[in-house]
Chains A and B, each alone.
Chain A
Amino acid sequence: DVKVTQSSRYLVKRTGEKVFLECVQDMDHENMFWYRQDPGLGLRLIYFSYDVKMKEKGDIPEGYSVSREKKERFSLILESASTNQTSMYLCASSRGGLGNEQFFGPGTRLTVL
């Protein structure tokens, strides 16, 4: 059974803190993605990676960075959290071409106070 896991289901941080969100997949997928999902705005792509140490900006990369040191792990970093980064963060992975089915993790609900 395919599996994408995220390090936390709920996270509360303070403005200015550095925040790490971890995602691990066990399907040996090449591609990994980070999205945020907000009411009325849908899923918005932050960053994606198609190979180890490779990363590409999505639609809303500002205020975020990513790291992919190993194939199975993709980290999202908020260098200095702000209240407008309060959101649901979803990680996904897919094999091969970028247009293939994506498998999502359960999400991390991040609140920045």
Chain B
Amino acid sequence: RKEVEQDPGPFNVPEGATVAFNCTYSNSASQSFFWYRQDCRKEPKLLMSVYSSGNEDGRFTAQLNRASQYISLLIRDSKLSDSATYLCVVNQAGTALIFGKGTTLSVSS
């Protein structure tokens, strides 16, 4: 059962590049969506929630396509400090959050 699927990567990009991650989810009844970030040997932390209308936080843009059941994260002007694993997270009513396995990003100088 693969409820949340992500391309594991790794995505290797130079500083300043724009990179996009996609994530698909299987349950059309899913209600809320998030991107978490996990640095190497650290715990996951919320990066941003994903709203139906799309939302932006600085260099980060998240979008949701309910019809196609996918979520995206766009990172503009990549920094070395963006290197991490990005986890797509989905919630259905009455259940705990469902985490994807993550996409690894490596930004190099």
Which A residues have a C-beta under 8 Å from some C-beta of B? 31, 33, 35, 40-43, 45, 48, 58, 90, 98-99, 101-102, 104-107
Give the CA-CA distance A48 to B102 in the complex, in Å: 21
The answer to the question of B67 belonging to the interface, with a C-beta cut-off of 8 Å to chain A, is: no
Contact A104 B44 (CB under 8 A): yes
Residue of A41, A43, A98 near B95 (CB, 8 A) is A98
Cross-interface CB contact of A58 among B45, B46, B96, cutoff 8 Å: B96
Per DSSP, chain B at the interface is loop
Q: Are A33 and B96 in contact (CB under 8 A)?
A: yes
Tell me which of B43, B46, B49 contacts A107 (CB under 8 A). Answer: B43
Asked if B100 and A98 make an inter-chain contact with CB atoms under 8 angstroms apart, the answer reads no
Give residues in B with beta carbon < 8 Å to A: 31-32, 34, 42-46, 49, 87, 91-97, 99-102
Q: List, sorted by A's number, 13 A–B pairs whose CB atoms are closer than 8 Å.
A: A31-B96, A35-B99, A42-B87, A43-B87, A48-B96, A98-B91, A98-B97, A99-B31, A99-B92, A99-B95, A101-B49, A102-B46, A107-B43
Interface centre among B31, B42, B97, B100 (most CB of A within 10 A): B97
CA distance A40 to B99 in the complex (A): 13
Which of A98, A101, A105, A106 interacts with B34 by CB under 8 Å? Answer: A101
Among B44, B92, B96, max chain A CB count under 10 A is at B96
- Known: A104-B43, A106-B42. Contact between A99 and B101, CB under 8 A? no
> Which residue of chain B has the shortest Cβ distance to A50 in the bound complex?
B96
C-alpha gap A31/B100 in the complex (Å): 20
Task: Choose one: A31, A33, A41, A102; the contact of B101 (CB below 8 Å).
Answer: A41
Beyond A41-B101, A99-B32, A99-B91, is A105–B96 a contact (Cβ under 8 Å)?
A: no
Query: B44 contacts which chain A residues (CB < 8 A)?
Result: 43, 90, 102, 104
Q: Which residues of B have CB within 8 Å of A48?
A: 96
